[in-house]
Amino acid sequence: MNKREQYSYLYGIIAPVVTPYHADGTFNAEAFREQAKFIMDAGVHGISPGGSTGEGCAIHDDERNQMIRIIKEENTRNIPIVAGIIRHSTRDAIKAAKEAKEAGADALMITPIQYLGGTDADGNYRYYDAISEAVDLPIVIYNVIPQNEVKPDDAYRMLRGIKNLVGIKQSRGSIDGFAAMYEKCHEEGLIFAATDEMPENTYLMGADGEIAAILGLFPELSVKIWDLHKEGKYQEAMDLQRMVYTVWMSITGSQFPRRLKAALECIGRGCGDALMPLGRASEEEFEQIRNALKPYVEYAQKNLKHL
């Protein structure tokens, strides 16, 4: 049995969830529980705390562990919990991974190191191999770091050689980057899209699923786009994608977690601001996001159970 078959339960809409904070910068467990329940109730196929959407470079390991435990308490459908880990050394990543496993994570989504330019291809291999040996959980590379990008040839080598490495979340190079990674590696592992603004395009190209910030903002709509694709209703899926595109263009860019939280506030799911120093989105950002969300709000009120 190859890795694609063995880990086929990791598929579809794996929605990241934001990390809510109180005004003093402490973790807001109650608000996190509400966000996680909302996302899971929308029918997603998996949920991911602690990635970029969850400000994973800044959270403490004990906060991630608490988020995983909360999800387990509310996870009535027993969907996979894919814990994000963004750390800057092998030592710290192994510590975080072991604790995530103990808390109840089903898989790990691990970002390459980025401090001082990251490392080279051999260093990345050693990093993921060491975590794989120390923590017996499926690992997905979160390929997002510009200065330490995992190229398709290097990803292929790691998928072939590292026991628990099962897939790639391709966040570099938009559609072109996804195509290159898929063509090289899809027979060796799972290839997840992270092109928030063009989900249907990546599904048409063969994506095994998506792990992207927009899924936590629009979980029900995202599941609908996935289902339409699976039903062969490609034009309907593309029509909904156009609405997603407009919203994402108002959110994407540097400091996006604060704009994502602003979008949640605009649709009635507010859970506070980003951790300092990102803080609260500006009034100009809020206005841009509100305008972009208008078509979605109108659609959701007529066609979805919840905003």
Quickly state the pLDDT bin for 1 (edges 50, 70, 90): confident
Cβ proximity of 56 and 87 under 8 Å: no
pLDDT score of 174: 87
Please give the average per-residue pLDDT across 78-90, as a whole number: 97
Tell me 43's DSSP state: T
229 in helix, strand or coil?
helix
- Sheet containing 12-17, strands listed edge to edge, beginning at the edge strand earlier in sequence: 46-49, 12-17, 209-210, 190-193, 165-170, 139-143, 107-110, 82-85
Please give the average per-residue pLDDT across 47-70, as a whole number: 97
C-alpha dihedral, 168 to 29 to 42 to 111, nearest 10°: -10
3-state helix, strand, coil in the chain (%, to 5): 50, 10, 35
Please give the average per-residue pLDDT across 224-249, as a whole number: 97
pLDDT score of 307: 77
pLDDT above 90 covers a percentage of the chain that reads 95
Please give the average per-residue pLDDT across 181-186, as a whole number: 97
> What span, in angstroms and rounded, lies between the C-alpha atoms of 71 and 25?
21
> What span, in angstroms and rounded, lies between the C-alpha atoms of 252 and 280?
15
| Fold held by 3-232 | TIM Barrel (3.20.20)
Is the preceding peptide bond at 49 cis, omega within 30 degrees of 0?
Answer: no
pLDDT tens, position by position, 16-41: 999 999 999 999 999 999 999 999 99
pLDDT tens, position by position, 102-143: 999 999 999 999 988 899 999 999 999 999 999 999 999 999
245's tokens = 């595109």
- Is residue 57's pLDDT more than 80? yes
pLDDT score of 306: 82
Predicted TM-score of the model (pTM)? 0.96
pLDDT score of 259: 97
pLDDT tens, position by position, 131-183: 999 999 999 999 999 999 999 999 999 999 999 999 999 998 889 999 999 99
How high does pLDDT run on average in the chain?
Answer: 96
- Is residue 85's pLDDT more than 80? yes
211's tokens = 């792990």
120's tokens = 């080279």
- Is residue 99's pLDDT more than 80? yes
State the number of CA atoms in the 13 A half-sphere of 21 facing the CB: 23
